[in-house]
Structure 1
Amino acid sequence: MNQVITLAKRPVGKPSMSDFSLTTEDKPSPADGEILLHAAYVSVDPYMRGRMSDAESYIHPFEVNKPIEGLAVAEVVESKNSDFEAGDFVVGFLAWKEYQVSQGKGLRKVDADIAPLSAYLGILGMTGLTAYLGLSEIGKPQEGETLVVSGAAGAVGSVAGQIGKIQGCRVVGIAGSDEKVAKLTSEFGFDAAINYNTTDDMATAIAENCPDGVDVYFDNVAGEISDGVHQNMNRFGRIINCGAISGYNDTSVPTGPRVEMMLIKKSLLMQGFIVGNYEDKFPKASKQLAEWLGEEKLKFSETVVEGFENIPKAFLDLFEGKNRGKMVVKI
């Protein structure tokens, strides 16, 4: 039998285990031109919360009573496709199934001798590309500037901060625990870090840690944390809107400070993006990330949960801040 995780119902507010269903089906067999895949590592990511809602977005929503899908690394266990051999490992968007067949479209071979397989879901995958391209295409940090990163202990944030350091910036991270704050400065090379859970006045905390103001803000969370950073932006600063996890489970439209006057007065750039906007730049970005990783200029952190049945729990833990870096599930 083959285990499958489907979307049982659309969540209202914060998702729960009851929104998922673990079912079984017959193990498939590949037809001519197909390959049989066995999941090795599955990525869980905050953006998936948006796909659980039936609302217009940049990507189609998950269907109720259908398998959820996301990035995964899988092993080819049987091949009837000349482009793949048994024993190959591939990465791509796959259903949350232990076994599945594919024609190979959209799958990319990966090499476990170059980096751990899980790294292709993180620093050498979409999260690393997101950090690199958000900075290079929107933030454009310059040597001597100050970069602030929210969600800095997460998969994207930790890489964005390290890239900022490589490019000669002062880098300040924002995270949710003393443990994460300590890791940012001791392991990832951030110049300073702020625990938002023990900070009553984020604007003042940013001012204290960024005496020359903020030139580039890589925003993964939005909400009140970002309100405090915005107040410290320098003229001609750049705000990269990558994520808004603080509001993903809101059931009403949030209200907050209006940013238009600030954008005008300080001539700020504020731009949202998804990594797919820059798909044509993936090869160059991947090459640079791999070079930095090989030169040990980049480190990556990941939280590995074991067991196919624990994929939903790992996803829910993202909203509790229980991950350290990239959250992956080892099958």
Structure 2
Amino acid sequence: MTTPTRTVLRLHRLLPALLTLALAATATACASTDDRPKVVVTTNILGDITREIVGDEADVTVLMKPNADPHSFGLSAVQAAELERADLVVFNGLGLEENVLRHVDAARESGVATFEAGKAVNPLTFQAHADGGPEEEAGQPDPHFWTDPDRVRKTAGLIADQVIENVDGVNPKRIRANTGRYDERLADLTTWMEKSFDRIPDRKRALVTNHHVFGYLADRFGFRVIGAVIPSGTTLASPSSSDLRSLTEAMREAEVRTVFADSSQPKRLAEVLRTELGGRVRVVALHSESLTDKGEGAGTYLQMMRANTTTMTDGLIGN
């Protein structure tokens, strides 16, 4: 019969071996996790697109949280370190992620492959509008290319190329298959958007937004951009009283009574127009620069674009 004392002695002798096995298992688990291919993406819109392309072939880390502002979000030290451990970094560029681009540059300098999506899709430039802006940015590339689904189709294919070229261990055939399936869904989105916007009379196809974000959509689907509350391509700028006067005059002339404001931004600036135009302005929320959490209406790029198209169509028909 085994006594309690002998049992304790046996456990004591086995303890070093058990600890060694446990440490070895932990090290193996860590090694297997660290060995997984890694793609890091700055914005959540590009993150969703990249996940559709990559599937289960690599880990995809998205730095920007849902309902955030790409112009102002920043990184923790841990997130900044993730960039330099990635096999590939996908970022929007063209100045969009204003507080993150220096970290992307640091990762590139350390030898990480990076892909600037906005620069690769024949970017449009900011144009001066009736509101007088964006004066300082006129002629500069517009980073908001995702409002044109055709450019996103091109982006998806280019991301696939980058993943296959730079991320070891992925299966190129699976990446191409994922890309093909997603391309079909993007093509369907474009067709659906065209049919939806066709319901809007030409005289009502005029946009006023919180800041200049829908230039690509306007160019692709035949809208006129009247102006923006913030006469800039970034939410970090602020309107002057003369900016607001210029915009309200342009709105009166174009008979526009609907302002589309990004859902991630306070609507205070757009609300000012209600006073300027005698309270006859509707402020309608769109998901223009960030996805939402899952289940909140714009959890994916496809959901965001469909939600925005429906909201814009209804808002302008009733304008």
TM above 0.5: no
Instruction: Indicate the structure (1 or 2) with the bigger Cα radius of gyration.
Output: 2
Q: TM-score, with normalisation over the residues of structure 2?
A: 0.34
Q: Higher helix fraction: Structure 1 or Structure 2? A: 2
